[in-house]
């Protein structure tokens, strides 16, 4: 699911329903075409993530809620969690006839924060049992996926090994790019919009900020401190972004259409 579609689901968790015209108003302001917006809404409906209880007015389904929860559960909170010293392993053996599903499974495990230990064995320090179960169910791979939890016996995880397994140099590069955007582009723009009291454009920056946070949350495995490179600023960055994300509703009038999406 692309970030645009995830964001539509996120908005639908904030209000009972949204009309197609309201989606068009929001996303044409972000540069999307009307047709691309309609296509995204149609795809989400076809997949069962949203439904139209009224004509051209959409609500999120239970399936959509569960799917979004699995995506959103990997929040920056892992940086403040105490690691219990055990690793979660996911192993799978999927027939070639289902190779597309095998690719999806690997991709989604990586998005959750797993790294490949062997060809069909993935590892994470954090507990994603429920998320992996939901993923296996969605892909109809329950009989091909096995989960385990325990301690590593045949080698010791080090900062260097973790940096290689989780491609932390690439993650840090992406974090640096977001820092530059946040300090040099976001702040000057949002301060100007606040002075102008432009509710729509503040909301647009809110959505952009959310996308940046979501992109980082997917890239960053948020490993326990003993496995992170010295000088790692992942927690600091996510905290700074979230502080802004959670406070922007103060700069939008409560009677504005966008306020309901931003508060909470």
Does 64 score more than 60 pLDDT?
Answer: yes
The predicted structure's pLDDT at residue 70: 61
Question: What whole-number distance in Å separates Cα of residue 11 and Cα of residue 7?
Answer: 6
Q: Answer for the pair 115, 122: CB distance below 8 angstroms, yes or no.
A: yes
Question: What's the number of domains the chain is made of?
Answer: 3
Same domain, 180 and 248: yes
Contacts of 56 (CB under 8 A, 6+ apart): 19, 20, 21
| DSSP code at position 182 | I
Does 165 score more than 60 pLDDT?
Answer: yes
The predicted structure's pLDDT at residue 73: 59
Is residue 75 one of the residues assigned to a domain? no
- pLDDT band at residue 74, thresholds of 50, 70 and 90? low
What are the pLDDT digits (tens) for 167-216?
999 999 999 999 999 999 999 999 999 999 999 999 999 999 988 988 88
Q: Beta strand pairing status for 57-60 and 18-19?
A: antiparallel
Task: Report in angstroms the alpha-carbon separations of 254 from 11, 168, 194, 259.
Answer: 17, 41, 15, 6
For residue 124, give the CATH number of its domain. Answer: 3.30.70.240
Is residue 74 one of the residues assigned to a domain? no
- pLDDT band at residue 142, thresholds of 50, 70 and 90? very high
The three-class DSSP label of residue 212 is helix
Does 2 score more than 60 pLDDT?
Answer: no
What are the pLDDT digits (tens) for 107-134?
989 988 999 999 999 999 999 998 899 8
Token pair 């989780």 is found at 166
Is residue 207 one of the residues assigned to a domain? yes
List the beta strands (DSSP E) in 93-155.
Answer: 115-118, 121-124, 145-150
Same domain, 109 and 25: no
Residue with the larger pLDDT of the pair 154 and 264 = 154
């Amino acid at each position: 699911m692309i970030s645009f579609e995830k964001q539509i689901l996120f908005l639908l968790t904030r209000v009972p329903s949204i009309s197609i015209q309201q989606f068009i108003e929001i996303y044409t302001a972000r540069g999307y075409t009307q047709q691309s917006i309609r296509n995204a809404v149609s795809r989400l409906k076809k997949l069962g993530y949203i439904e139209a209880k009224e004509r051209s007015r959409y609500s999120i389904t239970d399936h959509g809620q569960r799917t979004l929860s699995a995506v959103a559960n990997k929040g920056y909170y892992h940086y403040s969690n105490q690691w219990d010293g055990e690793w979660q392993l996911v192993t799978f053996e999927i027939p070639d006839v289902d190779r597309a599903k095998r690719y999806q499974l690997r991709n989604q495990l990586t998005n959750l924060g797993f790294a490949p230990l062997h060809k069909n064995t993935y590892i994470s320090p954090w507990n994603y049992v429920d998320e992996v179960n939901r993923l296996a169910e969605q892909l109809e791979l329950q009989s091909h996926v096995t989960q385990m939890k325990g301690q590593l016996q045949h080698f010791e995880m080090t900062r260097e090994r973790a940096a290689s397994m989780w491609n932390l140099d690439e993650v840090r590069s992406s974090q640096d790019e977001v820092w530059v955007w946040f300090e040099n582009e976001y702040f000057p723009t949002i301060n100007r919009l606040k002075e102008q009291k432009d509710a729509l454009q503040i909301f647009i920056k809110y959505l952009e900020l959310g996308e940046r946070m979501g992109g980082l949350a997917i890239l960053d495995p948020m490993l326990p401190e003993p496995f992170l490179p010295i000088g790692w600023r992942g927690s600091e960055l996510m905290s700074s972004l979230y502080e802004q994300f959670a406070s922007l509703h103060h700069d939008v009038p409560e009677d504005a259409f966008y306020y309901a999406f931003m508060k909470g």
